[in-house]
């Protein structure tokens, strides 16, 4: 079996300060340190997005799915969680893993798919997993994680273990059968589960109004016997408090809740997408005026927690942290060829070993490296 890449010798400065409190208090009781940590995390994630999109355009990575414009929804969820909670992400919850301890360099390495990537190039880029942080492996199969999340919640319930399972989804997932199956069993079992929907209004090129006859996603919960709540997904404190209350309700045996965070995807679905081909970008411009980072910055300035000097320091730290992470991992070699057949079965299979040997001989004859000198996908 292949070894997990060794941890980096030194932590990146400032990331540990982003960790949420073990017991999240009501929004009005959040301390200054936590409020600033939330803001720093938002700026860091936006900075990472901007840089990774540039890397993709330069051909240094192959693919990236940004969350730009949805930082409040993602991080409002992240800070409402307790360490014992489980997260089953959709496509735009990577920041949850980051603030729960996933090393930023591991995230960057996963996009390069090199030897420092814990999944060793096997996953889709920016589809992370963080086992110790209870962050389940991301999947591009829309909605497939939702029954898993409810199963996890049921297991916690049966075993009497602490924790709530969070089933993350986008608006496009409500068109999938897995969404309805998961909602049905969550309601039937009164499972300690929170469905967290980032309604960014576009399932790639299909707007929400062409997917569903209901005015909101939150109201769909009524059909399954539990509560649905809607919040402003561009207000991090509104998301935080709505999710925190839903989590505490589930924790106390009150059953599931469907939370709909209304937000907007200001960039493409991924770097493979051109949204100008299917939507009016004047709408996008209006949503950019509701930028969640700018909005939270105004709130912090009103409280005297943020000024121009601190703002500049935070943005400089975010830029230097992202650049350092990229510099430390970009030129790592590709995963060893042996990793192609490792972790597949408990013991190496003779047929796979023969195929690996044949591949090695073919590479030696041609001098061809299918993984690329830098380990790119």
Whose structure tokens read 């992400």? 89
269 is a catalytic site residue: yes
In angstroms, the CA 373 to CA 152 distance is: 41
Spatial CA neighbour of 134 closest among 192, 86, 90, 101: 86
Catalytic, out of 100, 106, 265, 376: 265
Length of the chain equals 377
Whose structure tokens read 């086992």? 131
Catalytic, out of 278, 286, 360, 361: 278
In angstroms, the CA 67 to CA 71 distance is: 6
SS3 125: coil
Catalytic, out of 92, 130, 244, 269: 269
Report DSSP state, residue 18. G
254-284 b/e with 16+ CB inside 10 Å = b? ebbbbbbbbbbbbbbbbbebebeeeeeeeeb
134 is a catalytic site residue: no
278 is a catalytic site residue: yes
What token pair was written down for 306? 């943020």
| 256 close to 250: Cβ distance less than 8 angstroms | yes
Residues with a catalytic annotation lie at 265, 269, 278
């Amino acid at each position: 079996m292949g070894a997990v890449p060794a941890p980096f010798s030194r932590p990146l400065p400032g990331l540990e300060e982003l960790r949420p409190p073990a017991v999240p208090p009501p929004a009005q009781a959040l301390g200054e340190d936590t409020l600033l940590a939330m803001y720093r995390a938002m700026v860091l994630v936006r900075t990472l997005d901007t840089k990774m999109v540039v890397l993709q355009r330069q051909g240094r990575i192959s693919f990236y799915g940004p969350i730009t414009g949805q930082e409040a929804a993602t991080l409002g969820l992240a800070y409402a969680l307790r360490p014992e909670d489980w997260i089953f992400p959709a496509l735009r919850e990577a920041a949850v893993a980051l603030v729960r301890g996933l090393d930023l360099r591991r995230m960057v390495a996963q996009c390069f798919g090199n030897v420092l990537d814990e999944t060793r190039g096997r996953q889709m880029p920016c589809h992370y997993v963080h086992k110790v942080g209870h962050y389940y492996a991301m999947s591009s199969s829309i909605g497939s994680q939702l029954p898993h999340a409810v199963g996890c919640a049921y297991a916690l319930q049966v075993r009497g273990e602490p924790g709530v399972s969070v089933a993350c989804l986008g608006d496009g997932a409500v068109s999938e059968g897995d969404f309805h199956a998961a909602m049905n069993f969550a309601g039937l079992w009164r499972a300690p589960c929170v469905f967290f929907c980032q309604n960014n209004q576009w399932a790639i090129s299909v707007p929400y109004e062409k997917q569903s006859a209901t005015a909101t996603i939150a109201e769909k919960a009524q059909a399954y016997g539990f509560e649905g709540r809607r919040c402003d997904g561009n207000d991090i404190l509104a998301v935080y408090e709505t999710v925190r209350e839903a989590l505490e309700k589930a924790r106390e045996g009150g059953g599931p809740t469907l939370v709909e965070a209304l937000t907007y995807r200001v960039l493409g679905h991924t770097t493979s997408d051109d949204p100008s081909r299917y939507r009016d970008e004047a709408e996008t411009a209006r949503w950019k005026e509701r930028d969640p980072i700018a909005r939270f910055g105004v709130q912090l300035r009103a409280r005297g927690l943020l000024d121009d000097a601190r703002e500049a320091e935070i943005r400089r730290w975010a830029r230097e942290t992202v650049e350092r992470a990229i510099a430390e991992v970009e030129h790592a070699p590709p995963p060893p060829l042996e990793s192609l057949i490792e972790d597949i079965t408990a013991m190496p299979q003779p047929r796979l070993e023969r195929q690996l040997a044949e591949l090695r001989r073919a590479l030696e004859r041609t001098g061809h490296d299918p993984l690329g000198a830098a380990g790119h996908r």
